Structure 1
Amino acid sequence: MDADPRAGLAERIAGEITLSDDPGATLRKWRTDFDVSQTALADELDVSSSVVSDYESGRRESPGIALVSRLVNALLDIDERRSGEHIRQYARVLSAGFDSDVVLDLREYPASVELTALYDTVDATEIVSGDRDRITGHTVIDSINAITRLSGDGFYRLYGQSTSRVLGFTNVSRGESPLVALRVANPTPSAVLLHGLTPDDLWEHAPDLAQRDGFSLAVTEMDLEEMLTALREHA
């Protein structure tokens, strides 16, 4: 884990922007993830908002390393003034032993919340009701990266402080792989949320597995960044 979470996050963001085939789109992704407007970022850099817009749209040629560094540090400076939540989130994921492209979000709630209320927040449709109706945290996982890179112990660490949580899986086609993986890597969570699926898309055996293991199973088609923002605000 990075001794300095800010430095580690800065290095990750700068690397993604610099190596991206579309640096402007990558910059826009990080800016919106930090919930920073083009105007706020421009003010931090002491430039006009059209400059930021031009870089994000590709109307200006790709920013050099020095400018990327300024852009990244401006985002982090804004985050720190706002309480540093994104920097702390990065530290939480790394402290659990994960890369941030495996675990997209991992949070413990200060108090338990109703599962149905969380589902409403992310426009989820519950397919199977579970044995527990309240949760105390969530973990959102990139399904492909998790399955290809995590050991059984790695899956166990996805639960953070408690299995009383929602495990959300992105990058799924039918939900078969994460549900089979969970059967191998007991214990099971309170709920599983599959992102990007409709009820009709779901693997036909998924409801049976959820019922057998007693967890709630739900699907949502909400935009990924909107879903992550909604989960963070709900927590």
Structure 2
Amino acid sequence: MDEGVLRLKELLFPSIEDIAVLSVDVNVEIVRVDAHCTTVGAACPGCGAWATRVHSSYLRFPADVPSAGRRVVLQLRVRRFRCGNSMCPRLTFVEQIAGLTRRYGQRTEALRSALAAVGLALAGRAGARPAAALGVSVSRSTVLRLVNALPEPEVPAPRVVGVDEYATRKGRHYGTILVDVETRRPVDLLSDREASSLAEWLAQRPGAEVVCRDRAPFFAEGATAGAPRRSRSPTDGISGTT
């Protein structure tokens, strides 16, 4: 890798390894970056075997984080490798660059993370408007899909759990909401209000010391089955409001 290519790579993708930037074309509306992967092979996503035999190559055009109001698009040359493992169901596979691309992705990981952060803060419709102002054309549905694709955060089991119902369609369909009573923050939603669902949730979280619930029979049954020594009702002196 010559000095000019290395300088471009460090400027545009300082945290990404195994990528070479060949050229950058800038005009009034768009910045196009020509790049390719520098590794000699790739690990098969099906079996993990290392492959070096190239089947073919083609161009991908994932969108990246805008620069100075201009759209940034990568012209990324990717290779399709032949898997050498005869037992692997995948005959060929396309290389991915860690921290930059993913399978079927139309955006770089940096842009996905930025849009997901906007979606978490503003939700779909409100999040799409500032994204457009920054130079990213995206629909509210896409913003919500990116938020839904985020991994579930690790939430420690609350010491005091509040249990109540919520309606997704009033009079028709109800679920169960579970709240950390001490912090007054929701910790989980169950898609129904069945006793078995609540019992399973409590059984998986032995760190919950107190279950605060109303007098609904399904909540009482679920709390008794999932946490027989921890269930309390409002009549025991602990508020059932969640």
TM-score normalised per structure 2: 0.28
Which entry has the higher C-alpha Rg, 1 or 2?
2
Structure ranking higher in helix proportion: 1
Per chain length, whose mean CA-contact separation is higher, i.e. which structure has more relative contact order (CA < 8 Å, sep 6+)?
1
TM-score normalised per structure 1: 0.28
